[in-house]
Structure formats: C-alpha cells, structure tokens
Amino acid sequence: MADIARLTRLIEPEVEKLGFALVRVKMMSGEDGPVLQVMAEREDTRQLVIEDCAAISRALSNMLDREDPIPDAYRLEVSSPGIDRPLTRLTDYDDWAGHEARINLTEAAKGKKQLKGTLKGRDGDEITIDTPKDGETVFAFDTIHSAKLILTDRLIAETAPLDTGDAELETEEEEN
C-alpha cells in the first residue's frame, strides 16, 4: 500500500499553502477500492466548509497527478475532522484538554491499552488522561495507536458552527 509518511510530506505543504492545517492522512479500504483520506481544518476556527474541501481537493489532485505517489487507482476524500475528531497531533492534547476521549495504546499504561476519560493535557510528549477507574494515567504520545474525542453535550456546545454567530451579526446590522 502507499507510504503514508511520504504522502504526508507531499500533502502537508499543499494544505498549508491554502491556509489550512493538516490533521490526518490515511489510506482506507472503500467499497470501490482504496481511499486516500485527508483531514484538514482552519487553524483559527478548527472548521472546514465545503468550499474549503473543494479547494484542497483540487490542489491535491493536481499535485498527486504530477507526483504519482500511489501506484494503484484510488479515490481522494478531503474532509473536516468533525466534532468527535481524531487526536493525531501533540497539540491536540493541549487544545482539547478538559474533554472526554477514547485512546487505544500500543503498549499498556497502568495495565490497560484502552483508556476512556477526560484529557488533562500534556507535558512534553507525555499525555495525561483521567479515567473514572484508574485516575490519572500518563503515557507517551508515540504509544498511541488511535485516539478520538467522545461526543458530549459540552463538546457540541464548544464546537458549534461559527456561521451561527455571523447570522446574528447580519441580523443586528440589518436592524441598525
């Protein structure tokens, strides 16, 4: 299959040129064959609208056609990480501290490879999560197999689409 590290090195500068942050690059199996999934977001809002996805897709399609890093046919999928986003970067553990997460480790911490609890943040490359049964558990970032936020009312409230505020602003301007 494709070399994800190489793909990431090719994709990240293209995404950043457009003013977005790369969240994840992943090859997946799809119904119609392999899918190259690229997740990105606006750094200031942590959101991505459909026009952003289209712009990233066009830029990546051109670059990937030119570089041809994937030998077989595949489908390109560009998306936002969504509310219950994957946690893929060290900074995610600072940014989402206080929220609930589910983390799967490659090496056990306190005898467990699956952790579910409240993110406490990080110190260097050490991540801390507070789990109901075991309390605070610390583990190295490079032992994470997968991690994602858990959908909660608080997370939904804190990640509400920003365009709702714009609509309120437009209404206020119309009234004045």
**Model confidence pLDDT, tens digit, residues 29-71:** 988 889 999 999 998 888 889 999 999 999 999 999 999 898 8
Q: How many domains does the chain have?
A: 2
Domain endpoint, select from 48, 79, 110: 79
Place 1 in a pLDDT band, splitting at 50, 70 and 90: low
Task: Write the pLDDT tens digit of every residue in 74-94.
Answer: 999 999 998 889 999 999 999
> Looking at the chain, which runs of residues are DSSP E strands?
20-30, 33-42, 75-79, 100-109, 112-123, 126-131, 135-140, 144-149
Are residues 74 and 11 part of one domain? Answer: yes
Question: What does the pLDDT read at residue 132?
Answer: 94
Domain match, 102 and 138 both:
yes
Residues 51, 39: Cα–Cα separation, whole Å: 14
Q: Output the CA torsion 59→61→63→65 (10° steps).
A: -160
Query: How much is the pLDDT for 94?
Result: 93
* Three-class DSSP labels, 7-44: HHHHHHHHHHHCCEEEEEEEEEEECCEEEEEEEEEECC
Section 132-152 average pLDDT = 95
Model confidence pLDDT, tens digit, residues 94-138: 999 999 999 999 999 999 999 999 999 999 999 999 999 999 999
Q: What is the CATH number of the domain that holds 55?
A: 3.30.300.70
In a domain, 46, yes or no: yes
172 domain-assigned: no
Residue 163 lies in a domain: no
Report the CATH number at residue 101.
2.30.30.100
Cβ–Cβ under 8 Å, residues 161 and 82: no
- Asked whether residue 63 falls in the same domain as residue 110, the answer is no
Same domain, 75 and 94: no
